[in-house]
Structures are given as C-alpha cells and as structure tokens.
Structure 1
C-alpha cells in the first residue's frame, strides 16, 4: 500500500504497571500484532484550522521551568534538572534525569514548537518515575531516564514548527559559511499561517549529523533531506552534546525516543478510523550512510517500537485509539533519530495526531496519555530486558496508515 508523506517528521489504568506490563510484553512477543480499539470514527472533526490553536492550554517555557524547579525541590534525592543549552533567543533548554540503572533512555520533545503533547507527557512521566512508590523505585533501579521536555523553546513560544533564527545569524556564528546558499530547511516565506517572511527560522529536526564532531562546511550547503545536517543551531547542539556526554558516561545510549505530531486526519488501514498515533523504528537507509554506521541496530529499534505498540494494544477497549506504522520509505540522516540510530542507539518515533494549527487542544488528555503510556511500556521493557524477547519480524504486521 502506498503511504502518504507526513508533515511532522520527513494516551484509566495504573501508571508504571511494573511486572504486569513486562509479563504482557512477553506474552505478546510471539503473537501476531493486534489491532487496537479505534478512538474515533473517520467523520470526526478534521478541518484545516481550529480558529484557536489552543496554545494557552499547553505548558509554556516559563511554566515548564516552574514545574521542573518544583519537582526538583520536592524530589532532589531522585531528580536532577540541569540546563544543557540556550536557545537562539536566550531561553533555557533543560534536561531532567532520574534513575540509576545501567541502561539510558533518552527522550526529547517539542523540537517542533507546534507539537506540544510530548512536553506534558514527559512532565507526567517524571512525576511518576520520581514518586516514592515501589514501582517507581524499581524502575529507577533498572534504567536511567534523561528527558529534554522542550528542546526548541523559541519555536514553542511562537507556536510554530521552525525556530527563530536568520541565515545571517548563522553566518555570523560560522563565518566559513559566508557565500554559501542558505540551508534547504530555512523558512523565510509564510508557512501554515506563520510569518516566516519577517521572522525566519529553520526546521531544527534536519540539523543533526551522524558525525557527532562535525563542523559546518560551506560545500555542504544547501544540502537536502536525504543528506546529513550541520549542527548550526544551539538547540540541536544541546541535544547532541547531551547524547555525547551520556555515551561517554555509560558507554552507549541504549534507547532514544523523539516525540512528534503528524496530521489530524490520517486513517488506519480500514479507512474507517482516525489514527491516534503512528510509530516507527526506521529513519535511514543504512546502505546509503555506511561511512557513519557505528553499530546500527534496526531490529532492536523494531523491538522497542513493538514494546510501545504492545503496551498500548493490550489495554483493549481504551481511549488510546488506532495505532499505525509510520511510513518506512524515508531516509533522513539529518534528524536526531537518524543520526543517533547510526550511532548505535535503538530509536523510536512517536507521531500523535494533529498539530496546534490543525487540532488545537482538542483531545489533549487522550493524546498526552497515549504518549506517556507508550513511553512507560518502552522503559519497562528496556529495564527488565523483556524488549529482547520481542520478535522484531512482527514489526511489519503493525497496521499501515492509509
């Protein structure tokens, strides 16, 4: 089946279910992929604009800082919040860390500022994982969770996809780029209702490079979607540097999950149900990038993806809705997922339904829970080792998006 390209990338059960979820993952590991219950019929609201993006319903940069400071003050024995960078407009980029386990799970959210569900899901996850419950204590002993809840705060405050940065600012920081053509992912014309003409920006999720020590070169511009990025933005460099520091500390970053949104109106294979979330473990055609291959593990990424899928699917009739496989015919080494996959991490993409300009704050609670429950399932499976028992060939049985 031919799948359409997506805009964004190219959630009343107990939390942290512990042993129960691990057992469920093992039970489904050798079974055919199940089809989750549908969240909505295909004729639900699907307009191109809500009229009100609902941005005030989501967590702002200031509110995120307040909540992270509150959590750290209350749970300083198990939570560490650090500033890992500063955005182009001077806003803090924070990372929150909990757990002492030997396997690192790195999660990033809101690299696109109109894709806000992941930020609130990460905050909820941090509250749960730093709690004084036996389940949380057990998970903290199994994994080290590191989360960047809002990695592109300038875009988030503008409620748009791209950051807030001109090509002239890039050249001022990197004089060797004088005379080069602007990067292909530079927005300087109106886009999805946003005024990039007078306030330009870049898609930061195309700024990564598999060579984590890469220095920008004029001959590599303007580039293309099938080529690596350049680390010309402080936001991507902050996450790159965090990844490098974790790899130096632990030897490897076991798992990387990046949280995104896609269009609001995609349908599952039946053509009858709207997709609540799409998942993927594949982002590059590794044969095209062998010079950067430092332990690419596609099967492990598929197992991680299935852990999230199974963890949501076993809930049966639930508000979490239809889950599908994100398009696989992509080759994006300039994304964080593509770059870190080539560096040996297992990688998973979450693409929940709708961006703020198309869906606003509708279904906010359901979507946040979908993301958090999927993350719960991955963390549980990684920590217990249940992920290694999942049959990666079942990945291709996940229903496709129509």
Structure 2
C-alpha cells in the first residue's frame, strides 16, 4: 500500500469563523485544561451549528461514503452526531472535545472526514479494511461556552463543578449503564461503544504547556489504559497504537511527543474503553491554541488520525513491540507562561 501520510500533512480545509463568546477557563488538578495564561482565539474554530453544517455538507458531497446519525442529545438538547465511513471489519472510534474548551481535535476530525469522503485509491483500500466512527464535539454545550464541563448547573455528586456542570470525561465507567448515566454526552459515547464494539478508541484533548528534557515545548502527549481492570491484551494494543502515533509524529519533525502522566479513575475514556477490551489511547495536544500554533496542532492531530488508520489497515500496528512504549519520554515541567518565550 502506498504511503499516504505525506498527503495527510499538506491537506487543509477552510475553517469557518465564529463569534462564540468565551467564559473564564476552568482549571482543575490532573488536566487536561486550558491555562489562564493562554491567548485563546476562536476565530478559526467551528461553532456547534457550523460543525453540523460542515458534517452535512461532507455527507452530501461524499457520494455515500460518509453517513451521519444522531446518537443522543446534550443536556441542553443539542444533537450528538456519529459520522461513519468505511466498510471494513475493524471498527475504530475517534472522539473529540469531551471538554468544551479543547477544540482542535474536532477541527482535525472534520478535515479527516472530508478527505475520506473524497475517496481515492489509497484511502478506498484502507476503508475496505476499516470502519471509522467519529463522534466530534462530544460536549457541544460546553463548547458553546468554552468551558471544560458540560452545562448542568444543577449537577451534584462526583466530578461536578457546582453551578457549572459535569466533567464528561469522568463518566464512562463500564459499571455505569448508559441509561443510569447522569451525563448524557458520556452516555451517548457509551451506547456507541456498546453497539459497535470498536477494536480501538482514540480520545482527543488539550493539556497545558510542558517542556521536554531537552527544553523543547511538548506538542503532544499520549498514554494508554493504566487501570488494573484493563486486560493485558487491551493494554498491549493501546501501547502499539501509541507507538504508531509517536513514530509518525516524531518522524515528520513537527511534533515533540511525550507520555502523559495518566490517572486511574475507571470513568476516564482511556481507562473505560480499555477495561471494555479495546485498544484505547489518549492524545493530548498542547493547550496553547493561539493563532500562531492552532494550525500546527490541528495538523498534528490530523496526522495521528490518518497514520493510525493506515497502520491498522496494513497490519503494522500489530507488529509493534508494546514494551517499547516505555521508552516514549516522560512529560517534563509545566511552563508557566509559554507566550513569554
């Protein structure tokens, strides 16, 4: 199969403008989060309505390659969309923007869906082996307010910020059935996972700005399930997926990749879908989304998405030595104000 990644790195799409208002960013321990020091610009990002319009346009123009369905509604009643492309037996699920103020994975997913919808011999060969499932902007209510949580000011209990809402990425625990889940956005992802049984899941987020041991700013951090209930086979596959992403991004030289220091809650998507038996990976993009870096970070997410699909289709992901994932450098020190550099 011919190598498609160089094509991935140069494809770009026009991104609509939006006048969405921003709220004060929420900062909580263990991230990922948007830092108070960031110069946040939303001019290049899709609002929820613009995203829906873009998805429908992609579906129309794809000649049947891309299909959409609604898989739930947010707490404020916005439809949650699942985009499907491909006919292969291996199902791969990408989810983006569980935290409303972490938007660039959504932008990358829209670009990828448009590219896949256009088809072509190389992509058609990949999509004959893979069915890609994408849930973009899982937290549309939070995204409209540019806040981490969903919008549920009456929430209470675990992982709730009173007067604001729930942290969606803490409510995927397999022990909590979707119908009993108080977070409808997380319940929608759960239902998709139960229905389609994806072999692999990748969850896109942002983190703050960190430095590598060599002094370079980290652009991407990745990690696998670390909960003890995740079966060894799922952890091994997750590590193999991380290696594909690491090798791809480091090879093309526009990313500095590290291990993310993941925590243990079962309800985190990375852990939850690993516990369910899937290869499950967290991808954290650098939190700085100013105009100067947003394009590079979208390209980083986009390249990781495409490279993983290609590697799955070729089977090379399964030839990686899972133990080598331990050699991915640990994330370094937090940079208090990267804009001063």
Question: Which TM-score bucket, shorter chain as reference?
Answer: 0.7 to 0.9
Aligned to 2:313: 383
User: Which of 182, 185, 205 is the matching residue for 2:169?
Assistant: 205
Separation of aligned partners in 2, 1:16 and 1:380: 14
1:383-402 counterparts in 2 under 5 A? 383-402=313-332
SS of the equivalent of 1:94 reads strand
1:278 aligns with 2:212: no
Contact 1:306 1:395 in 2 (8 A): yes
Separation of aligned partners in 1, 2:102 and 2:184: 19
Residues 228-274 of structure 1, C-alpha deviation per residue, up to 9 Å, x if partnerless? xxx21110111111111102xxxxx110000000002x01122x100
Aligned to 1:80: 67
1:234 aligns with 2:184: yes
Separation of aligned partners in 2, 1:113 and 1:279: 20
Aligned to 2:37: 49
User: Which of 281, 288, 292 is the matching residue for 1:348?
Assistant: 281
| Paired positions, count | 305
Separation of aligned partners in 1, 2:314 and 2:294: 30
Compare 293-302 and 332-341 and name the one that shifted more: 293-302
Aligned to 2:196: 246
1:307 aligns with 2:244: yes
User: Which of 148, 160, 175 is the matching residue for 1:186?
Assistant: 160
Aligned to 1:6: none
1:336 aligns with 2:300: no
1:136-155 counterparts in 2 under 5 A? 136-155=123-142
User: Which of 327, 338, 359 is the matching residue for 2:261?
Assistant: 327
Separation of aligned partners in 1, 2:321 and 2:231: 23
Structure possessing the higher relative contact order (Cα contacts under 8 Å, 6 or more residues apart)? 1
Residues 60-114 of structure 1, C-alpha deviation per residue, up to 9 Å, x if partnerless? 1011011011111111421101111111111111110000011011000000010
Contact 1:129 1:139 in 2 (8 A): no
Compare 133-142 and 117-126 and name the one that shifted more: 133-142
Q: CA deviation at 1:55?
A: 2.0
Length-normalised TM-score, structure 1 = 0.72
Separation of aligned partners in 1, 2:35 and 2:108: 25
SS of the equivalent of 1:401 reads coil
**Which runs of structure 1 show a deviation greater than 4 angstroms over 4 or more consecutive aligned residues?**
293-296
